[in-house]
Amino acid sequence: MNDYLQNRNKKFYRGSTTIVHPLYEIELGQAINSVTSFIDRSILARARLLREKALNTITLENCWNNTNFSFSEAQQCHELTFENDSVLGNIHSFKQEMQVSLLADYENKINPQNVNIYKKNTNVGLGEPTQILSEKNLEVEHRKFLVNLHLFHRFYYYYFAKYLFIDSLKYNI
């Protein structure tokens, strides 16, 4: 049984290439989903609610109370106001941008040379890394990143989104 596990780990462990072990990818994906769903369900939900409340006030004054608009025109004005609002669009895309940023941080943590490689090989992707982590260092860096993700990044993005979408817009709550 022990030989089977060692052979399986040798087969899947890619410490000498750019491919990360599938179990690490699963752990990373679950950790990122945990952090992004926390942000989405807490501060981004509040920011969406406050922005929609402010937009409803704006559309009430500009669209619905406008005597020059018919009902269908006022409804179209209301829909266009919500569709074209840049702040609401940024709130909706913040979660995906956060996921991309966290994945890039992880890749740079696992292989710090990726930044330089990307600059060299912008036409073909990342290319081959020049600095490879050993199996033990890969495990250590992976675990450090997961802990850092839950203890630092979660609150960093929470307060960043709070400042960006709530505090800077100064809603009358």
The reply to whether 7 falls in a domain is no
- 123-142 residue pLDDT tens: 444 445 445 566 677 788 88
The reply to whether 6 falls in a domain is no
Average pLDDT of the residues in 83-104:
92
Residue 108 DSSP SS3: helix
The reply to whether 65 falls in a domain is yes
The reply to whether 146 falls in a domain is yes
Instruction: Indicate the number of domains in the chain.
Output: 1
Q: Domain span at residue 163?
A: 24-167
The reply to whether 46 falls in a domain is yes
Q: Which of 15-19, 25-29, 63-67 has the lowest mean pLDDT?
A: 15-19
Q: What is the number of other CB atoms lying within 10 angstroms of the CB of residue 139? A: 15
The reply to whether 10 falls in a domain is no
Task: Place 117 in a pLDDT band, splitting at 50, 70 and 90.
Answer: very low
